[in-house]
Amino acid sequence: MVGGFFSSFRVKELRDRILFVMFGFFIFVLTVHLSVPGVDLQKWDQLLSQGALFSFLGMFTGGALNRFSIGAMGITPYINASIIMQLLTVVIPKLHELQKEGGEMGRRKLGQYIRFLTMALALLQATMMVVSLAKWKDPETGATLFLMQGIPYFVMVILSLTAGTAFLMWLGEQMSEKGIGNGVSLIIFGGIVLRYPVYIKQTLFYAKVANDPNYFLKLILFGVVAILLVMAIIMLTQGQRKVPVQYAKRVVGRRVFGGQSTYIPIRVNNAGVISIIFAISIMYLPQTFTQFVQPEMTSPWFGVVNFINQIFSPQHWFYNLMYALLVIFFTYFYSAITFNISDVADNMKKYGGFIPGIRPGRPTVEYLEKIMGRITFVSALSLAFIAVAPTFAMSVTGVTSFYLGSTSMLIIVGVALDTMQQIEARLVMRHYQGFMK
């Protein structure tokens, strides 16, 4: 692997692409530290500690949300726009035809729609964020979050946040075109990794001041669990079921076409990280809602709000049960969208392909549905286990200063593997030894 790493820098084109990605990371870090003027960061940090959903969104920004920088919303609107457009291609026939038969022009058109939708979502999210925060006041002093008031100032903040998302979207596309790997995914990867030094610092500080003599043993156990989770994620990400396909021979004039054997690679984890993102976003909503609805202790609603906060705490068994069930549901839902069995069977039939022992047409669809059902069942249970495992690991070991999130681990491992595979392909194409053997 070390030899493959140095080999990647011997190829000028690959070296330039890797250096461009590094430069993109540098620009991304600069956007994290460019704070929007006129914000009381101490009160903002106090407000962030009360909202679980804010903490989840801040995980993808590399600390930009904590500093209320121009990249505070991160690339999240672009992710939402991509997911919405992918769902719309299933519902709207015109978009489905554009994706299926539009070729390169169709992909560019869909990419343009995603950009427009991203800007609309970013503007809407920034407006809702600024309007809701402008109403916030410190319950003790009555001080506001924004040091300046007035419509011109609020418009400036909204446009700054929207422009930050637009810039990160453009930066991600440039990293995809001139760098290596998927630029948007790499920006999310960088945002997550940027928080790790803070977690390590917090963990070491807590270990220093803790009076528990077994704390270092708990840290070792915590590290072992983290390594095992990474191994499980790698196996789930790389796993695939190869369905054999045979193409019949066709004679056109004096030439013979077809006759070769191939396979359909069906990924075990077709849903990726989307199912966990959807599930955890829903699970964070009740606690986020109760932060804005805080009745008096004498109110009859006080007990209801307290009960909601209790059962939707990450340490409660009800929270983990509902979290796992939502992950299973969204895994089935998103896998059915991303892998269209009818299209696969039609394409095989069109080009004279068939699965050995299975007739083309409806029997092929039923056979693939049977395989897909088994694969999705394994994937859903595995993702549900990965989703709740970090919570149990932190509860058992007592290490809560290092945030071991299932979503962040899936993204980090997935992006790292995808980038390494692309570097590997370029190295093998030039007869260099790759990373993986």
Q: Could you count the other beta carbons within 10 Å of the beta carbon of residue 267?
A: 18
- How many Å apart are CA 435 and CA 181, to the nearest integer? 15
- Please tell me the distance from the alpha carbon of residue 369 to that of residue 378, in angstroms, as a whole number: 14
CATH number of 1-195: 1.10.3370.10
* Secondary-structure class of domain 199-402 per CATH: mainly alpha
375: closest CA among 271, 276, 280?
271
DSSP E strands, 279-360: 353-354
Residue 40 tokens read as 């009381």
Whether 1-195 shares its CATH topology with 199-402 is answered yes
157 token code pair: 């903040």
CA distance 268 to 377: 9
CA distances to 107, 164, 411, 421, 433 from 10, in Å? 33, 35, 29, 17, 12
**Are 394 and 404 in contact, with CB atoms under 8 Å apart?**
yes
Pairing state between β 250-252 and 255-257: antiparallel
- Other C-beta atoms lying within 10 Å of the C-beta of residue 371: 16
Can you tell me the distance from the alpha carbon of 122 to that of 117, in angstroms, rounded to the nearest whole number? 8
Distance CA 186, CA 25 (A): 8
Q: Where are the domains of the chain?
A: 1-195, 199-402
Q: CA–CA separation, 260 vs 304, rounded Å? A: 65
Distance CA 290, CA 304 (A): 10
CA end-to-end span of the chain: 8
Spatial distance between the Cα atoms of 239 and 268, rounded to a whole number of angstroms:
5
- Per-residue tens of pLDDT for the chain, all 437 residues: 555 666 677 778 888 888 999 999 999 988 888 888 888 888 887 777 665 556 656 666 777 887 888 888 888 888 888 888 887 887 788 877 777 766 678 788 888 888 999 999 999 988 988 887 887 777 677 778 888 888 889 999 999 999 999 999 999 889 888 888 888 888 888 888 888 888 888 777 776 666 777 778 888 888 888 888 888 888 888 888 888 888 776 666 666 555 677 888 888 888 777 787 778 777 777 766 666 666 565 666 667 777 777 787 777 788 888 888 988 988 888 888 778 888 888 888 777 788 888 888 888 888 888 898 899 999 899 888 888 888 888 877 777 777 777 778 888 888 888 888 888 877 777 665 555 55
Of 83, 155, 84, 152, nearest to 126 (Cα)?
155
DSSP 3-state of 33: coil
**Using an 8 Å Cβ cutoff, are 74 and 57 in contact?**
yes
Buried b (16+ CB within 10 A) or exposed e, 305-314: beeeeeebeb
Query: Residue 13 carries which side chain, given as an amino acid letter?
Result: E
